[in-house]
Structure formats: structure tokens, C-alpha cells
Structure 1
Amino acid sequence: MKFLAISGSTRRASTNTALLHALQAAADQTHALSVYDRVGELPVFSPDLELDPPPAVSALVQAIADADGLILASPEYIRSIPGGLKNAIDWLVSREEVVGKPIVLTHASHRGDDMLGQLRVILATLSDRFNEELFLRLPLMKLLPDEVAAHLSAPRHQEEMRRFLDTFANYCKPA
């Protein structure tokens, strides 16, 4: 199964991005997981550019088209979705590559429920295959990326992440 894990953070030392890299490292041979951590490089969405999108947008769209499923992780900014992630989603709204694409969330904090609620509404609108029940939350706030990797290398976290990926892979299979 081929997954694309999208980080909603533009911060280089993001715990959510580090969580996605830990998921990538935990994946076994049956799952290929790529991490997309470049939402900050996307130009501001403009409907005028949708027919001929900028190269950065085309690259994201192609990565989504190539994936069997999407895993999103995002920080919360002032109880909301960060602008970079919202901008990335805006680029996808009228595209067919995301319609029917299996999507799940993971989160690297014990808080952020307001943002997660908003994101769930948006993702359920974006794709009819958004799975709200399948959710991986690991409280990693205030850890640096190296600390996240070390923390998540513990056997119980490795098993939890593999179980999450296996469950998502089963969900991604055609009915």
C-alpha cells in the first residue's frame, strides 16, 4: 500500500512532521509511506490558476494521485487549521484526484480538538472516504524531532503505529 503523509506544518522542527517521519520509519515492507512537508512552498490559492497550476501544486496533486491513501498531521494555530494546510486543501477542492481518496488523521499533541474538529468537517467534504474513526494521537508536544524519533522508537509505539498503518491499509482496499 502506498501512502502520502501530509504535514500541515511549515515549521522545520515540527512535532507533527516528526511524527509522520516516525510513521514512515515504522512502516514495514508492505507499506510505502512518503512524507510531504512543503505546504509552505505552495503559492496562495487562486481559482484563476486552477486550469494551469504552478509546478509545486502539480507535484502535490501528482503525489496524491499516486497514493492509495492520505495521512494528515497538523498543528493547531489559534484553535484553527494553519493557513498553509488550508491553502493546500483549497488547491485540491475542485480536483478529482482527492475525490474518493481514503484519508485519515494523526496528531502529535494532547490538545488541538478545535482544529481537529474543523479539519474533520473539511476532509469529510473533500472526500467521501475520510475515516473519522481511524485516528492516531500521540502526545509529543514540545519535543524536538530527534526526541520524537527516540520516543516513538519504543516497541509499544512502533506496534501502535504499525497497527494504525495496517488498519488504514485495510480501509484503503477497494470494497
Structure 2
Amino acid sequence: MLGSDYDGQVCAAARALEVVGQRWTLLILRDLFLGEVRFEDLVHSLGVTRSVLTRRLSHLEEQDLVERELYQQHPERYEYRLTAKGAELLDVLARLLEWGERYYPHPDGPTRLLVHTGCGGAVHTRLTCISCGDRVGPADVTALPGPAREAMSTTAGGRPT
């Protein structure tokens, strides 16, 4: 059973989960992508407590996924903006949305439609090979050990996962 952190894991996915794996974190990122950038708007949109939102936003700032911008002096109020690092999670969230719509659809239809701002076309996520451009699925992918995994397996007591 996994503990509350993944320190013993030699896996980039485990390290990423340390940053974004908490439920509210992904929902906050989703809402920031959707344009909800003010604290009060996020509280209302998410239905989260102020204390949880404060902790999660602080965590996202510490990890350089979000930055605060002052928009009011008295009292001080901030908007939260995705950094370039945070914005790179769009494809992860889009794929999660696409998967959720496929396997857990709402009876009235899709809850969100991702469209290309330039032409209005539907945006879909897909895995493609960078060498040949073919679309790949789970049966087409092999995971090979990388250098860190190989180093861990030769270290006494190391347990690659």
C-alpha cells in the first residue's frame, strides 16, 4: 500500500502525483484553465472551503504552477494565473476530461466541449509517435527502463517500481 508520499518510487508519474495528485489540485487547475482566476470565484465554482483552497493555491505557487497577481490594494486581493509550467498540464486535463466523458458521461451529453479558438473545430487528445506520426494505443506502447530505473536496480536495496 502506498503511503502519503512516493519518495521510494523511481517514477516520474509518482513525482508528478506529489505535486498534482490531490483531488482539489486538479479541480483548481481545471477552473484556472476555464478562466476562474479570483479566490472568491474559485471558492464558489469549486464548493471548496477557503482553508483548503488557500492551502492548495499555496502549494501550486510553491511548485511554480500558479502565480498571484495583485488586482486590489485595500483589502489586498489577488488573481491566480497559470505559469508556463502550469499551462503545460492542459493536455493532461483535456485527456482526463475526454476519458471521463467517454466512460462516465452525463445523461444530457458532454459537460464541456474543447474547441479550437482559431477555427471552432473540436479538440481531441491523442498519443502519436514522434518518429513516424502514427497514432498509438495501449497495445502499441512498450515501457522500457530508463537510466534512473537501471541505476536503482543496481543499487543495494533499491526497488524500482
TM-score by length of 1: 0.25
Structure having the larger proportion of residues in strand: 1
TM-score by length of 2: 0.26
Based on CA coordinates, which of the two structures has the bigger radius of gyration? 2
